[in-house]
């Protein structure tokens, strides 16, 4: 079975470790970075199927990162996660191309479900 490559950009170390741990158990190929700039460098160097990005990060915000992905890496699906996002910023993220927006504290099962949906749709497209 083909595995999706996932990049997780999250500045909260505990949240990053939790996301990586839970998705690793599902068999995904994961890379974690602590900020938006490092995420963009990784995206420019390697192919990722899914980007999970926190909306508020140092360097580049999740929204700025989403905009760059839409310019340069259209094959990468984006999930935005947010601890303090207003409804308007979540709507903005969806309008700019995010596949899903999840608010913190989020249920890890919900995140796994969203990733599985994206992964399965990719397999069907191929």
pLDDT of residue 87: 74
Question: pLDDT tens for residues 70-86?
Answer: 999 989 999 999 876 56
For 6, residues 6+ apart whose C-beta sits below 8 A from its C-beta are 23, 28, 29, 30, 31, 48, 49, 50, 51, 52, 115
Residue 94 in this model has a pLDDT that exceeds 60? yes
Q: Among 5, 68, 6, which Cα is nearest to 37's?
A: 68
Q: What is the pTM of this model?
A: 0.93
Number of domains in the chain: 1
Mean pLDDT score across all residues of the chain = 90
Residue 38 in this model has a pLDDT that exceeds 70? yes
pLDDT grade for 3, boundaries at 50, 70 and 90? confident
CATH value at residue 43: 3.40.50.2300
pLDDT grade for 58, boundaries at 50, 70 and 90? confident
* Chain position carrying tokens 């595995």: 3
Query: Residue 19 CB: number of other CB atoms within 10 A?
Result: 24
Q: Please give the residue range of the domain that contains residue 100.
A: 5-125
Report residue 117 as tokens.
């949906």
């Amino acid at each position: 079975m083909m595995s999706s490559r996932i990049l997780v950009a999250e500045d909260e170390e505990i949240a990053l470790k939790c996301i990586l741990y839970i998705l690793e158990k599902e068999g995904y190929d994961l890379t974690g970075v602590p900020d938006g700039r490092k995420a963009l460098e990784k995206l420019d160097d390697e192919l990722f199927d899914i980007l999970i990005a926190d909306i508020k990060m140092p360097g580049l915000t999740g929204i700025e990162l989403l905009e760059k992905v839409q310019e340069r890496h259209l094959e990468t699906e984006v999930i935005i996660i947010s601890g303090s996002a207003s409804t308007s910023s979540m709507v903005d993220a969806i309008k700019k191309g995010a596949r899903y927006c999840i608010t913190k504290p989020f249920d890890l099962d919900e995140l796994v479900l969203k990733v599985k949906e994206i992964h399965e749709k990719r397999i069907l497209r191929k």
